[in-house]
Amino acid sequence: MAAEIPCKVFENPCDYGEILEFQENLRNEVIAKNSDGCVLFLEHNPVYTSGLRGKEEDFIKPVGNIPVFNIRRGGELTFHGPGQLVIYPVIDFRNYGFSSIKEFVLFFANSIKSVLGTFCGVQNLAWHDEKAGLWVEDRKIAFTGMHFKKFVPIHGFSINISNDLSYFSRIVPCGMPNCKITSVKNETGRIFQVGEVAEKIVAEINKSNG
């Protein structure tokens, strides 16, 4: 039986730069075997992030005073803000029974899919590796992009729960000009608290990994 995966749910929206530094420091501790690491569940204050394939021309409108971070993860441009759940699994995946990056990513993807389907009532969900996310037909509801170092990732997953989707209209999200973005709120007409969805995913990943 694989060990239980340690998780931490933050109560209030977090500054992106502070959490990025926290992830990097935690990863160094995990690699040095001074920490087991942790899966972080949180919301961010409004921020745009650009991955390794991000391009300046993908910003199609001025972003005002919202910060932009160029970071070392897969993917292109995306937005984080209140009402969106972000998951950062900063752990050595080998310690929890995973044999490959693909298996690790799909495990979290399927856990997210299960909770959005059974708890939130979102229908017609499908995970697409090649499109790096969870989709509702032709609409993207969850995203992934990670950077691995010695089997320990930083960055992770983001899930639109009840966030303001208009921020995505200022960019070409995920480098896909025709990408439609949706949320749990848009799909179901119901508003869920980010924290309650986070707690359901915490329970799901450890049920699935037990």
Q: pLDDT tier at 192 (50, 70, 90 boundaries)?
A: very high
Residue 130's pLDDT is what? 66
Domain 7-200, classified CATH 3.40.50.620, yes or no = no
Mean pLDDT of 115-129: 94
- Tokens standing for 153? 């990732």
Backbone torsion region of residue 87, taken as left when φ is above 0, otherwise alpha when ψ lies between -120 and 50, otherwise beta: beta
Among the ranges given (58-62, 90-94, 149-153), the one the predictor scored with the smallest mean pLDDT: 58-62
Residue 171's pLDDT is what? 76
| Percent of the chain whose pLDDT exceeds 90 | 69
Residue 61's pLDDT is what? 54
Residue 57's pLDDT is what? 54
What is the value of pTM for the model shown?
A: 0.90
Alpha-carbon distance of 159 to 121, in angstroms, equals 14
Q: pLDDT tier at 1 (50, 70, 90 boundaries)?
A: very low
Alpha carbon distances (Å) from 105 to 108, 124, 136: 5, 20, 19
Among the ranges given (94-98, 111-115, 144-148, 156-160), the one the predictor scored with the smallest mean pLDDT: 144-148
- Averaged pLDDT of the chain: 88
Instruction: Respond yes or no: is residue 38 known to be catalytic.
Output: no
Higher pLDDT, 64 or 127: 127
Residue 63's pLDDT is what? 66
Choosing from 7, 14, 38, 174, the catalytic residue is 174
Which of 207, 23, 1 is CA-nearest to residue 97? 1
Coil vs helix vs strand at 152: strand
